[in-house]
Amino acid sequence: MYAFEYFDNIESVPEAFFDMDQSSISSLYKTRTWLRVSQWRLGDQSYYIGIRERGNPIALAPMVTFRQPSDYSTTDPHLVASKILKRDITGTVNYCATLFGVGQPILHSSVNLEWDALLRVIRTAAWKRTGSHITVVGWFTSFDAIGDLSQQTMYGMLIAPENSLSILDLRDFQTFDDFLSSVPSKVRVSYRHDMKVAAQANITFRDVPGIELNPSELGVLATNVMEKYGNHVPPQRIESFIRKMSQATDIDSGAVMAFYEGKVIGFTLYLQVGSTLYAHTYGRSYEKDVPNPYFGLGYTTLITTALEHGASYLNYGSGAGDTKKARGIATVPAYAMVADYF
C-alpha cells in the first residue's frame, strides 16, 4: 500500500513533501530550513524516508543514524531505547526525530493515514538502510494526529512517556492582562512580582525583529547560560544558528531583549511558523551587579510579544516543566516509540 524511497540530504527532498499540510504546534521542526540547519547536529548521519501512496507523497520521516550513544542527554536514542526495552542497548540505533522537535516527528499529509502501516514502513526502511532493528521515534504528544498515546503498546511498538512539552494556549486572549486574569491568584502574584522587580532594577524590554539582531552578541550570551549548566558550546555555533534562522524565508524570527543601562543583558530568541510562536534560545549576562532578566524575558514580555504577533499558541518546548507550571503554562507528556524488530 505504502512505498518508500530514501533521500540522502534535505536538498534532495522534492518540494511536494513540504507542501503537505503541516498546520500543527510543531510545524517549525518540519520546515526545510530547520531540518537543513539542525539535523547534522544530532548523530552520525542524517537521511530522509519519503513515503508515497499511489505515487503521491503522504509522509516524510527525518532519520538520524546513531552508531554510539549521544553525548547530549536530551537527544540520546540509546538511552530512550534502553529505558523502554529494559535492557542495555548498544550498536546502531535508528532515530526518527528532529533536533528539539517535541511533537509530531513525521511530516505527513492531512489525509487519514494508517499509522500502523506507516510506522511499519519507516522501521523496515530504516532496517534496510542501516542493518539495525532498533528504531526510536520521538516525540509524539496529544496534539498530534496519531491519536491517544496513553496506552503502553500500540502500532506494534513499545511506547512510554519520556519527555514533556509546555504549551500556552493563547486563543482566548487579546492582551497580557486577559491572560493574567485567567490564571490563579497565586500565579498573578508571581507575574506582578516579576514585573515589579524588573522595574525596580531599571530593566527594559524590547521586541527586536530577526533582521536587526546581532548574532555574535547573542551567541556569547547564550553560551554563558549553557556553560553555567555544564554544556560547552562555542559561541560561533549559536551565532551561526541565529544568523541562519534570521535569514530564513519559511520562518519568522526575532528576540525579546532585556536592556540595563543601555546594554543588552539577556534575550529569548523566538521563531514563528503559522499561528505558533516558539521560545527557543535563551541567553543572559552573569556579570556582577547585572540584574537577572529571566522571568521578564521568558514569560511576561514573551507572552505579550506572542499575542502582539497574533499567535494562537506559545510553544515553550521541553524542560523546566515545574517552573513553567508555576507560571500557568500547561505541560503535556511526550511519547517515544521503540521497535526492536521490523
In this predicted model, what pLDDT tens digit does every residue of 12-28 receive, in sequence order? 999 999 988 767 888 89
Indicate whether 116 and 231 sit together in one domain: no
Q: Which three cell numbers stand for residue 333?
A: 507528556
190 three-class SS: helix
Interhelix angle 235-247/215-228, rounded to 10 degrees, is 130
Which residues make beta-bridge pairs with 154?
A: 157
State pLDDT tens for residues 128-161.
999 999 999 988 888 887 766 666 566 667 888 8
Rounded to whole angstroms, how far apart are CA atoms 245 and 261?
A: 28
Lookup: cell for 132: 539495525
The answer to whether residue 322 is domain-embedded is no
What value does the CA radius of gyration of the chain take, rounded to a whole number of Å? 21
* DSSP run (H or E) holding 216: helix 215-228
Position 319 in a domain:
no
- Statement to judge: residues 265 and 149 lie in one domain: no
**Measuring CA to CA, which residue among 2, 105, 95 is closest to residue 55?**
2
Read off the pTM.
0.90
Res 45: pLDDT: 78
Same domain? 224 vs 150: no
**CA atoms of 263 and 56, how far apart (whole Å):** 53
For residues 108 and 20, is the Cβ–Cβ distance under 8 A?
yes
Whether residue 276 sits in one domain with residue 207: yes
d(CA 190, CA 326): 8
In a domain, 250, yes or no: yes
User: Residue 51 falls within a domain, yes or no?
Assistant: yes
Q: Is residue 48 included in any domain, yes or no? A: yes
Residue 265 covered by a domain: yes
Tell me how many domains the chain contains.
2
Mean of the per-residue pLDDT values of the chain: 90
Same domain flag for 86 and 212: no
Tell me if 125 is assigned to some domain: yes
What is the domain-level CATH number for residue 252? 3.40.630.30
Do residues 189 and 289 share a domain?
yes
User: Residue 13 carries which DSSP code?
Assistant: S
Q: Are residues 155 and 182 in the same domain?
A: no
**In a shared domain, residues 160 and 32:** yes
Considering the domain architecture, whether residues 136 and 209 belong to the same structural domain is answered as: no
* Distance between CA atoms of residues 100 and 115, nearest Å: 23
pLDDT tens column, 101-116: 888 889 898 778 888 8
Which residues face 332 on adjacent strands?
Answer: 165
Q: Are residues 106 and 194 in the same domain?
A: no
pLDDT recorded at residue 174:
97
Enclosing domain of residue 292: 172-311
Domain check: are 24 and 124 in the same one? yes
Q: 310 or 162: which carries more pLDDT confidence?
A: 310
Do residues 31 and 152 share a domain? Answer: yes
C-alpha cell at 233: 558550546
Residue 318 lies in a domain: no
